[in-house]
Structure 1
Amino acid sequence: MRRYAVGFVARVTARNRLPLDYSVASLRVVDSVVEGLRKGDTDRERVAGTLFGLGAYVGEVLVRHAGAVWVDLDAGQREYFGQSVGVRMPDGRVWNPLGKVVNRFEAGREESLQTFYLLLHGRRSRERSS
């Protein structure tokens, strides 16, 4: 998934000059992009590839800043999350950044990706990440 996220960022930033630098602050940019897709009155199926790429990006931010690792989900997790991959946090919890982006698209601002990161259970504490 890391390669996919990096390739997605390279494609989107080349065309749109989006500041996707894998920082936690850049999740605000992702929120804005998803909000723009919503306001465009776009059918979710037509933007599915973009949502997937943004989900990979969000997951990669979790990997780089919260101590997560990409994992293949087991059958029960795949059924629950509707995805084949997710991230495992340092405390063992598994999260679904790909689905979280879809939720942001469908539900709007109350599903903020930046807030998701800031309230995320199981992320590495600042003291240990330094």
Structure 2
Amino acid sequence: MKTLASEVGIEEEKHLILLTLNDYLQGRPVKDIERLRGAFHPDSHIRTIIDGKLVQWTLPQYLDLVAEATIQECQPKLLSYTWDGDTGAAHVQLTFATFRFIDRFNLVKLDGKWLIVDKVSYRQELP
């Protein structure tokens, strides 16, 4: 049976998760490095496939790549998210003029804050 207290807890968790995901979705398109840094755990890893090979970066390496990227118009979108206890997952996309990134995140809640600990990304070229 759901109680008012559990409903409040669910809404609070949703709010906290969305704060982190919005830091990524709003920070990445404009290269707001500090906002991005705040969305990730310092030991997180970012992975993708390039030319059929797994490529991975530490958070500092990834943030350096983002800082060097050209700012382009982007439409960020949260596709889904879920959580159980202190772990969660999210699925987002960033659509640019000629391509989109489709990202899957693993999340953890530490000290009352949700953080991305792992990002797997796919780049889809658009017609």
Normalised TM-score (structure 1): 0.27
Which gives a bigger RCO, structure 1 or 2 (Cα 8 Å, sep 6+)?
A: 1
The structure with the larger Rg is: 2
Q: Greater strand share, 1 or 2?
A: 2
